[in-house]
Amino acid sequence: MDRMLVVVFNTEVQAYQGRQALLQLDSDGNISLYAYAVLAKHADGTATVKQGDDSGPIGTLLGTSFGSLIGLLGGPVGLAVGASVGVLAGAAVDLNNARIGDDFIDDVTKTLTPNKFAVVAEIEEDWTTPVDTRMEAIGGTVFRRALSDAKHTIHDENVAAMKADLAQMKAERTKAHTDRKAKLQEKINQLDSKIQAQLQRAKERREAAERQAQAKVQVLKAKAAAAKAKAS
């Protein structure tokens, strides 16, 4: 199952040990590690990406769930991104694109307090024990959330409801007096604008999901090629 993973540590040393543990778990075949970053939360509430995976295609992919999660954990006062993570600074900070609930962000930020560190990763894991055992031994607090398409379903239902309202208002307009028609037309225009904005956001999410899926394929291909070269 594809999951977002955030492991919070008290020290930077522990965070880098956690990063190394994830890399080892990936190497051993216990998980597939698609992207990772080490995040530092400062005393003033700002956050800095200390180190990230800038070598693979997903490490610098704009508008992905991973990039959105990094931005969200940066908090409202902003996120400083080091050169090691390249164009990740431009990732869309969008909870919908992140495909995770705001409750997950709240849970993480309550623990990721100033002067603490976190390893943020997107992984695929069949069971949670390998990651939990390694991270707890280092002193990490593990948060994980499965990537979900539930938000897309909710979005479709919202658009359908707005379209139904729009159709009703258009029907009323045809029977209304002149003065009422103008007011109804104004409401129709406003609702139509909202529908178009929703459709555009849905298109952007679909395109981001497609880019992310393609990037994951490339990551897996690269790993397979590396394993083949090592075996030969």
Per-position DSSP letters for 168-182, written without gaps between them: HHHHHHHHS-HHHHH
Is 99 within 8 Å of 149 (Cβ atoms)? yes
Structure confidence at residue 191 (pLDDT): 85
- Report pLDDT digits (tens) over 182-217: 888 888 888 888 888 878 877 777 777 777 777 777
Structure confidence at residue 23 (pLDDT): 93
Is 165 within 8 Å of 184 (Cβ atoms)? no
Instruction: With CA atoms as reference, report the closest residue to 140 among 231, 21, 58, 1.
Output: 21
Q: Which amino acid is located at 42 in the chain?
A: H
Cα–Cα dist 61/90, whole Å: 9
* 22, pLDDT greater than 50: yes
Confidence of residue 58 (pLDDT cuts 50, 70, 90): very low
* 65, pLDDT greater than 60: yes
- Report pLDDT digits (tens) over 142-161: 998 887 654 555 567 667 77
- Model-level pTM greater than 0.85? no
- Report pLDDT digits (tens) over 123-147: 888 888 999 999 999 999 999 888 7
Place of tokens 């239902």: 157
Cα–Cα dist 45/52, whole Å: 20
Whole-Å CA distances, 72 to 47, 51, 122, 207: 10, 17, 15, 20
Is 17 within 8 Å of 118 (Cβ atoms)? no
What's the whole-number average pLDDT of the chain?
77
Q: Which amino acid is located at 22 in the chain?
A: L
Cα–Cα dist 146/101, whole Å: 10
Cα–Cα dist 40/50, whole Å: 7
Rounded to an integer, the average pLDDT of 214-225 is 78
Share of the chain above pLDDT 90, in %: 22
* 93, pLDDT greater than 90: no
* 100, pLDDT greater than 80: no
* 166, pLDDT greater than 60: yes
Rounded to an integer, the average pLDDT of 23-43 is 90
DSSP element (H, E) containing 80: strand 79-81
Among the residues of 7-63, which ranges form H helices? 12-27
Structure confidence at residue 200 (pLDDT): 82
Cα–Cα dist 41/28, whole Å: 30
Q: Burial code of 136-157, b = ≥16 C-beta within 10 A, e = fewer?
A: eebbbbbbbbebeeebeeebee
Cα–Cα dist 183/97, whole Å: 35
Structure confidence at residue 155 (pLDDT): 62
117-125: strand order across its sheet: 79-81, 47-52, 31-41, 117-125, 2-9, 141-146
Structure confidence at residue 220 (pLDDT): 76
